[in-house]
Structure 1
């Protein structure tokens, strides 16, 4: 018996493409009954804005062959049988190894990824033609236990003010979960570790201004009920869910760009695979102008050097990274050995 399938027509910069969707009735979000075909149609509906945000970048695909409650894995290298309109570029990982990574250039590429059971798209902050130098400064505001989305709102607003003082326009989106992502377009002239230092400088400045509600402590035991500014999301091969990407959560949320004027009253749970297409048609894309005037991180790097002179050094890197210059010991503070005479 032939397997169930259907075809979907996807418009794009090179004309219409017809894509086969196998097992279109496979349910990906069980609580809502949202199927693989529903996901593909969602990506058609938001295709232009999705590609504007995530296209021309190395991207990792988070795939769920049996739905969001089942097995999952990440695809970075282009799988066998990828269509000719889905390309790859070589990227260097923290280990120093180089491998090709997928790039999506048109809505049909996103729909093809959905055919491959992709639910979450994780784009790099750098472009395909210059993968070593980010053109986005990204900051992840992560509510810790005892805090929630509403607690992240004033932190995002203060971060916006800090970035403005550094000459950088800021854009915001929901994470699709409990947090917020703040992006600033930058000229791609510095490599990842330098951009990470700029993020740390901005994070420390926000922490100074909001010391009771913000933390840059890497170790969870030291964060408390505060918003963690996750500076390590600025590292090479560290990504977050892209703009307009669905998330693998029960209510099928989307990481959704919003206007700063919306932030005070926004309910992130209302941005879903079922609702975002209509929102996009009604309000347009809040990130449409993001790349119009990229800034430079020189001011933030000046703050980084100022903090170094004041004794604030490098912060920890993710545990799978090689040991980095100036990095403090990678040991949980409560497990650190202390001199008994201290």
Structure 2
């Protein structure tokens, strides 16, 4: 005989009533974490995740039957069955099509998304007030085969030195996997194209300083055993799991803000659904000051102009983007018949 299912609950969150159905459904089988565990995790990190998500159009990565079941990305809030208080923001895809994405105005929005089976939150690097001008420059340090988190952390330390020279604060976090993300809060004055160019310039400077450790090569065959700076995470409609988002892996890890001093010594697997709320409560949010000031990225755009003059222009866009002005061919180097041998 099957056991009886736990009854749905109604929970007050940020002045709204959010329904939690099937609270005992297992979402992370290896750890035994349930839908209620996920729901209450997000309530437990409320201050931190709202700092990461507040007023940002957000793509939801949903796993209604748990992380071993079907997954899909939801970019449009349904037109039916949505509480009247749920806010959205209209964003434009590279194709020119538009969508009304969830735009969390308070923690109830996060709780509602968790009720819908959302595990991972992917906010755009913009705010609802101006969805075409990023206020967040994201550096994604992605270890390639043969490298690991320690290499990414070392690369992040090298990046910190460059940021110190530029007079700007970087805010590091674990990816929840083997990578490291470093965010810069910038003035929302530039387009996605310009902010991506600035990111490429910063990545190239990092690669020049540590060519043994860091690569900006878009094609995997050219990366070697190095940490790839994924500059295309700043292309329109490309997003990264936010600070305090769970990741859809067996361990239920969390993309966790850390201090620069902590970064070389942490084990990203130690940050999970169980440990992060307690860490946040006891130590506070290392990203608490991230919104204090927006930086002027003009120095990076000047580096981009310098690089272009030296023959290092734009880089390939993701394959789902339309061909962009000034973009090189999207042809794998080993298959490029026109490339000098």
TM-score category of the 2 structures, normalised to the smaller one: over 0.9
Partner of 2:60: 61
Q: Secondary structure at the match of 1:258?
A: coil
Q: Hey, what's the Cα distance between the residues in 1 that align with 2:230 and 2:177?
A: 15
Partner of 2:180: 180
Matched length: 337
Partner of 1:326: 326
| TM superposition shift of 1:294 | 1.3
Q: Does 1:5 find its partner at 2:4?
A: no
Q: Secondary structure at the match of 1:132?
A: coil
Q: Hey, what's the Cα distance between the residues in 2 that align with 1:52 and 1:251?
A: 24
Partner of 2:222: 222
Unaligned runs of 5+ in 2: none
Q: Hey, what's the Cα distance between the residues in 2 that align with 1:153 and 1:139?
A: 12
CA contact (8 A) 1:31 1:250 kept: yes
CA contact (8 A) 1:186 1:296 kept: yes
1:81-120 equivalences in 2 (<5 Å): 81-120=81-120
CA contact (8 A) 1:167 1:296 kept: no
Q: Does 1:316 find its partner at 2:316?
A: yes
**Residues 256-289 of structure 1, C-alpha deviations (whole Å, 9 max, x = no match):** 0111111121111000011100000110001111
Structure 1 stretches (4+) deviating beyond 3 angstroms? 2-5
| TM superposition shift of 1:4 | 4.3
Partner of 2:143: 143
Q: What TM-score does the superposition give when structure 2 sets the normalisation length?
A: 0.96
Partner of 1:292: 292
Partner of 2:265: 265
1:192-231 equivalences in 2 (<5 Å): 192-231=192-231
Q: What TM-score does the superposition give when structure 1 sets the normalisation length?
A: 0.96
Partner of 1:44: 43
| TM superposition shift of 1:8 | 4.7
| TM superposition shift of 1:82 | 1.6
Partner of 1:35: 34
Indicate the RMSD between aligned Cα atoms, in angstroms.
1.4
